[in-house]
Structure 1
Amino acid sequence: MGPNLQSRVRLRPVDLAREHGLSTQAIRNYEEAGILPAARRTPHGYRTYTSLHAGALRAFLALLPGHGHRTATSILRAVNQGKDDEAFRLVDESHAELLDDRRTLQAVERALGDLEPAMAPGPGAGSESAAVTGPDGTFIGPLAGKLGVRPATLRKWEGAGLVRPRRDPRTGYRVYDDADVRDARLAHQLRRGGYLLEQIAPLIAQVRAAGGLEPLEAALRDWHGRLSARGRAMLTGAAELEAYLRERG
């Protein structure tokens, strides 16, 4: 279990709380959740903590930004139970998730890059977009032909929410406007990249919410920033976790 807790400097719950701007109730909650090792009690029943508890708290708070509350809790709980390998596995899983997020972002950027030449407004009817859509939009057959997919594929994408064509009131046929063509092209690029429909749907929703591809650039820059911040937070969390492991012995 490491060095005897009684040999360490004794700290009150309020001492731990003040250092991090927390309440004493939060400290007690962290102990009950297994984030902190069990505290010793005085003959009068008061909790006493040590530098070991302070290290556990610092590690937990440092892990939070990069791993989230649930995973950070599970990591500290595993360490406090002597299950270091389980803690390392949880850390590895978070890093794998971050890597997957980076790959998703790269796939979106590649897909958008492939779309830009086709979606850029050209002079007159010279652009590919104009060749696909007329004043009233395009029907499923011509669009499927331009994308090199079957009409059934476009209907499947519609069922998954990737495209939302309107219906011609006279014929009932699907009519795809410029935004639908854009979404279909993006879906096509991402499918070629190996992404599942359920993974593509939220990305296309972001394009719609941004109002198109150009406004999405700001969202992509923000996405880059958040991934970088999470990566750096993981480094900070790893350093504090290592310090706690050394303190625990």
Structure 2
Amino acid sequence: MSEPVTGPRPVRLRTVDVAAASGYSVQQVRDLERLGVLPAAPRSGNGYRSYASVHVHALRAYRGLAAAVGPVDARRMLRELRTETIAGAASAINTVHVRLAREREETLHAQQALRAIQAEEQQPGAERDSDAMTITELAGALGVRPSTLRFWEQEGLVTPDRVTSLRARRYGRSAIGAARIVAALRGSGYGIPAVREVMGSLHRLDGLDETRHVLQQRLDRIAMRTVALLRAGADLAAVVTSVQERSTL
């Protein structure tokens, strides 16, 4: 009778091994396991944790995800990926790529709006009604709620060109451009007072230069976050496939 064929035993790692392989400290490894970034490590008879390669992959994936979407969302995603199908996990990761692409597109629109404001200063031109947007249309284009645009209006950041007797707002090209810049600044972490100061300076040359610099910095940060997510890709795939392999055993 032939012996059953068995694969190689999985390599068991100590906490210090996982720390060295991932670039985290021993205490950080324990903290991230407690926070759910890592699947719980089984303990040996003497009480020591026994890790596997999937734990190293999870830590490396967390580093890239945290750089891309922030530590809170990264922790949530890694916890959820452990219960997802491969299709569901791929969809969740793709959503992050889409989110970064949307942020980049919004910032590019803000740059275009800034150039339009500069051109308008140099050569004023008439706006067409077809260029205008309703509050719902503009909110949809910016990825914000209509209530956000109303709040920006209350704060003096974006002003609709006119409000009808039915309180319906219409935003022309200049207001749309201002809204795109405000959205990009808010996405960069600027508070309302700082945004108000920047928007008030747009009619000065130094104000245009400052805003141009802020928007370019935002594009650079989005690029860095995208690269971090790409670097995490192989480790995320290893985490997801490890979960699927365990579920079929």
Letter in 1 for 2:49: R
Query: 2:232 aligned with 1:237, yes or no?
Result: yes
Q: What secondary structure sits across from 1:49 in the alignment?
A: coil
1:113 matched residue in structure 2:
115
After TM superposition, the structure 1 = structure 2 runs for residues 1-249 of structure 1, keeping only pairs within 5 Å, are 7-120=9-122, 128=124, 159-162=154-157, 188-189=172-173, 191-192=175-176, 199=183, 202=186, 204-205=195-196, 206-208=198-200, 212-248=207-243, 249=245
Retained in 1: the 8 A contact 2:37–2:59? yes
RMSD: 3.9
How far does the alpha carbon of each residue in 1:47-96 deviate from its partner, in whole angstroms, 9 at most, with x for none? 11111222222222232212221222122212323454443343233223
**Counterparts of 2:211 and 2:177, CA distance in 1:** 20
How far does the alpha carbon of each residue in 1:136-160 deviate from its partner, in whole angstroms, 9 at most, with x for none? xxxxxxxxxx8789xxxxx997523
Gaps of 5+ in 2: 1-5, 130-149, 160-170, 188-194
Q: 1:17 to 1:82 in 2, by over 3 A?
A: same
Letter in 1 for 2:219: H
How far does the alpha carbon of each residue in 1:198-227 deviate from its partner, in whole angstroms, 9 at most, with x for none? 848848544457851122222222122112
Letter in 1 for 2:78: L
User: Once the 2 structures are TM-superposed, how far is the Cα of residue 191 of structure 1 from its aligned partner?
Assistant: 4.2
Letter in 2 for 1:36: L
Q: 1:191 to 1:89 in 2, by over 3 A?
A: farther
Retained in 2: the 8 A contact 1:162–1:201? no
Q: 1:188 to 1:157 in 2, by over 3 A?
A: farther
**Counterparts of 2:18 and 2:67, CA distance in 1:** 20
1:124 matched residue in structure 2:
none
Retained in 2: the 8 A contact 1:207–1:213? no
**Counterparts of 1:200 and 1:30, CA distance in 2:** 32
Letter in 1 for 2:83: Q
**Counterparts of 1:69 and 1:20, CA distance in 2:** 16
Paired positions, count = 197
